Structure 1
């Protein structure tokens, strides 16, 4: 009775997409100035800061809706790898004050998106 892989995939999609979407909406309302500064500091053109809207708004919506879920998940994986490399690289082997991995949120987004690449959207999705 409780075995329903399609429902499980829907819950994973809604959780990943919904939680990441909050980050994208915050950047939509507050701008990407911090990301522009970080990119500029690494010698990367600041125009790439607007790519965060793909990784944190468009891709999560794709995942939530189940529309080209694997592509949306791949975009999230790329977004998180860039975020970890540019903003959180020094924390890779750090623990938080409560003993958890300092990058557990980023790790959650990264690895759940990676799993969705293999799982796909399940039955409850928009038709591709």
Structure 2
């Protein structure tokens, strides 16, 4: 019989498997496809978030203490943008990846998330200068 606990356990395992798959994809030269895994992880997170609304006691303490709806929304925006940008960068279109992140910076209100995007821009630009 299905329970919130068993669903939560399955979602935790799914997250870990997807994360492992992304690591292996990168090692195998399939980095351009990692964005798909990032999207799947985002969907799993959305299901977990809905589950946490119904059963808040299942939420890990570190999430319960720190994630507000605004932070959660900012996390989703950054995750989607980074997935797209990394896919572009892996495909060799670093300029488009940087432009994607710069567009994100113009719209994002969270300073913490803006800093993450800015550091990713600098990383991409410095990696591009090395090639």
Instruction: Place the TM-score, normalised by the shorter chain, in its bin.
Output: 0.3 to 0.5
TM-score (norm: length of structure 1): 0.38
TM-score (norm: length of structure 2): 0.38
Greater RCO (Cα-Cα under 8 Å, separation 6 or more): 1
- Structure having the larger proportion of residues in helix: 2
